[in-house]
Amino acid sequence: QKEVEQNSGPLSVPEGAIASLNCTYSDRGSQSFFWYRQYSGKSPELIMFIYSNGDKEDGRFTAQLNKASQYVSLLIRDSQPSDSATYLCALNTGRRALTFGSGTRLQVQP
């Protein structure tokens, strides 16, 4: 079992819709959770982090964490074509480096 599981996609949503990206993880000791965005041919950049169960909102982005069910999700409201990218879930299992999932490719159709 992979430490971090993501559906590779592509997830295709129309412009203006809500995009929902999901991630499950295996290590119950995971302490903190991150969403990185990676445009094609570019390096990843941090967009959200969450430590506590529940929701965390930042503009059009909402991260949701459920430690009991071992999943973390990212909602993107009012999706724009510029949101088209690969979204990488990452977590800190107590090691000194982040463990990344393989990413979900999001396509926002104009």
Partner 1 sequence: GAGVSQSPSNKVTEKGKDVELRCDPISGHTALYWYRQRLGQGLEFLIYFQGNSAPDKSGLPSDRFSAERTGESVSTLTIQRTQQEDSAVYLCASSLGRGVANTGELFFGEGSRLTVL
Sheet containing strand 61-66, edge to edge, reads 4-5, 19-25, 71-76, 61-66, 54-58
Closest CA to 73 of 85, 57, 59: 57
Looking at the Cβ atoms of 10 and 16, the one nearer to partner 1 is 10
Query: Is there binding between residue 37 and partner 1 (CB under 8 A)?
Result: no
Q: What residue type is 48 in one-letter code?
A: M
Within 74-93, which residues bind partner 1 (CB under 8 A)? 88, 90, 92
Site size toward partner 1, by CB under 8 A: 23
Q: Which residues bind partner 1 (CB under 8 A)?
A: 4, 6, 8, 32, 34, 42-46, 49, 88, 90, 92, 95-103
